[in-house]
Amino acid sequence: MLIYALQRIGLAMLICVVAMTVLFSIAYVIPGDPASITLGPRATPEMREALRERMGLDQPLPIQLVNFFGNVLTGDLGVDVWSKRPVTTIVFDALPYTLALAAAGLGWAILLGIPLGCYSAIRRNTLIDKLTGVISVGAISVPSFVVAIYGILIFAVGLRWLPALGAGAEGDLLDQLWHLILPAFAIGLGWVGYLARLVRASMLEVMSENHVRTARAFGLPERMIVFRYALRIAVLPTVTLLGIAYGGLLSNAVFVEFVFNRPGIGQLAVAAVNTRNYPVMMGATLTTVFLFAICTMIADLIVALLDPRVRASL
């Protein structure tokens, strides 16, 4: 188990290194010099040179790469071109909002998706199952910003049940949770559909396995068979997916944060792109990638903990 955990951590680190290299190369390959883009057309050559020097762009490429890695490792993501605040601080200020948003989105997905999928599988081919199927596929195919806009129109503007914009008052946890419901739903709805489909499929598979027939042959109550004997196995593939889903939600947060005007990594990235704030852009993207790698790693470790067969094979 320990070896597996180490392997998995190693893999996550490798993913991060590859991602960093790719990001670095993209920044290098795209036309235009970040310094002149940042400063705009009216900058003097001296200003550009000064900025280039500050950003380390005057160094040879391999040195730049090494510096880049070194800086990231020491937690230094550079300095905001405009406010001169360290990017790390900016990112870490925005991060909790996005993490909470993604977690709440995932919460919706788990809360609705798993029971729906489970119920569909048990009541296979009934009207409810078919209806769930149609709704799930619908939910998967509607982009989250559309859900966000209609969510605001219906629940905030029309019914006035939920707040439309912002993240809630600073320090008021209840208010912040209140502000989280709608954006989280918008971001999580697609995953509700995914989870419902996945859980249904794996539940059907498990329910037709031999050991379920054994449980039936011993007259175990259906409730016990479903929850203790089948669902426990059926959610295992779901856990792996949830790790990926969480990462996906982090990057999906861009639209929803924008629509709901919430602070967060997505909002930060959009603003950085608009203002050509190259270090902030880089910092936001890198952080998202790191989180993605960490989430999938954690999901794999959880599966290993839950499944004695996987545990034994390690």
The footprint of other proteins (CB under 8 A) covers 209-211, 213-221, 224, 228-229, 232-233, 306-309, 312
- Minimum distance from CB of 124 to other proteins (Å)? 9
Residues recorded for the chain:
314
3-state secondary structure of 79: strand
Tell me the backbone φ, ψ of residue 209, rounded to 5 degrees: -75, 160
CA 76 to chain centre: 23
Crossing angle of helices 173-207 and 127-141, in 10° steps, is: 120
Least Cα distance to 163 among 185, 179, 151, 177 occurs for 179
Distance CA 184, CA 152 (A): 12
Nearer to other proteins, 143 or 221 (CB): 221
- Minimum distance from CB of 214 to other proteins (Å)? 5
Nearer to other proteins, 94 or 114 (CB): 114
- Minimum distance from CB of 121 to other proteins (Å)? 13
Cβ 101 vs Cβ 253: under 8 Å? yes
Tell me the backbone φ, ψ of residue 79, rounded to 5 degrees: -125, 140
Q: Which amino acid is at 20?
A: M
Q: What do you get for the CA distance between the two ends of the chain, in Å?
A: 6
Distance CA 222, CA 59 (A): 69
- Minimum distance from CB of 95 to other proteins (Å)? 35
Distance CA 291, CA 243 (A): 10
Nearer to other proteins, 21 or 214 (CB): 214
Nearer to other proteins, 174 or 312 (CB): 312
Secondary structure letter of residue 230 according to DSSP: I
Instruction: Give the number of other Cβ atoms within 10 Å of residue 167's Cβ.
Output: 22
- Minimum distance from CB of 206 to other proteins (Å)? 10
- Minimum distance from CB of 210 to other proteins (Å)? 4
Residues in a beta bridge with 79 = 86
- Minimum distance from CB of 244 to other proteins (Å)? 22
- Minimum distance from CB of 2 to other proteins (Å)? 19
Nearer to other proteins, 42 or 309 (CB): 309
